[in-house]
Structure 1
């Protein structure tokens, strides 16, 4: 089985969740080939070979990020002392494609190609989530979405990840296999 995990990450939280999902897939199927790629490195050649495509991103303004929300997030990170690494990751992310534009180049697939969607989000009543929009776009490209879209929680707008979320991501990844 070949699993491709594609993620967009501004501050590193979604990347950490994606890596934990990859670990979970390996735990469930040690023979599985797993590629965990930032959205800028995930071209059609990488996704076309997947038996399972897992896609995730941060929640911005109650849904998937946009060019504007990514620039706003990077600018906000510039003003936080002690977050140089997160600021650098945010700026790298804004320079590449986001998930919204990445989906324009995602080839349609045949029925029987599986997918799942996840996001990172804060735990507030009006926070929303990006995973539903990601799952909808995967379905629109004829992927069979095999799990309910999943949200992983971040403490406050800039983190850290809530305790236990990496373990939950590993378990979710294992359950996808």
Structure 2
């Protein structure tokens, strides 16, 4: 049995959060499950049979998941994680073959601006449901200081704690 975390990160903040979630899951599960973090650009359309929990996370750009144009904008602001033309979680979700039996949690990173709507996690949830995933829940938002980051104080600890909490959702 295993946990798969599909992540997109432009400035590295979402990847740091995903790695911390993975650490929390790994610590809570002991040796009971493999936890793998895979960049969305490298993820294939098949979810392996041994996966019992799926997490999908990305940065919030323009109130939603990234698009090629918003990734270009991130590069213009100094992002170096990926080429703008590489696919993100939006494109991965559009290509993935649904596993209705697998619980899925979405998460995102974004700048905390009072009253600013939109969330990559919320958009990903809707897109995953549309693809045929049946057990999808919106997870956490991890806050960044500004567009380029870093993650706000204690967000890594919060991500580890959320990962430990999610360990209870991994079934054999």
- Give the alignment's TM-score, normalised by structure 1: 0.86
1:36-75 to 2 correspondences below 5 Å: 36-45=37-46, 47-49=47-49, 50-75=51-76
Unaligned runs of 5+ in 1: 78-86
Matched residue, 2:16 = 16
Instruction: Compute the RMSD of aligned alpha carbons.
Output: 1.6
* CA contact 1:138–1:145 (8 Å) conserved in 2: no
Residue aligned with 1:4, SS? strand
CA shift at 1:8, angstroms? 0.4
Rate the CA distance shift 1:167–1:144 in 2: closer, same or farther, 3 A. Answer: farther
Unaligned runs of 5+ in 2: 168-172
- 1:124 equivalent in alignment to 2:113: yes
Aligned with residue 80 of structure 2, among 88, 104, 127: 88
- Give the alignment's TM-score, normalised by structure 2: 0.88
Aligned with residue 103 of structure 1, among 72, 87, 93: 93
Rate the CA distance shift 1:132–1:122 in 2: closer, same or farther, 3 A. Answer: same
Spell out, residue by residue over 1:78-131, the C-alpha distance to the aligned partner (whole angstroms, 9 max, x if none): xxxxxxxxx432xx2424211111112100223x31110000001102153210
Matched residue, 1:80 = none
2-side partners of 1:127 and 1:73: how far apart?
Answer: 19
2-side partners of 1:34 and 1:100: how far apart?
Answer: 22
1-side partners of 2:117 and 2:69: how far apart?
Answer: 18
2-side partners of 1:160 and 1:52: how far apart?
Answer: 28
- Which runs of 4 or more aligned residues in structure 1 lie more than 3 Å from their structure 2 counterparts after TM superposition? 144-148
* CA contact 1:120–1:154 (8 Å) conserved in 2: yes
Judging by fraction of residues, say which structure has more helix: 1
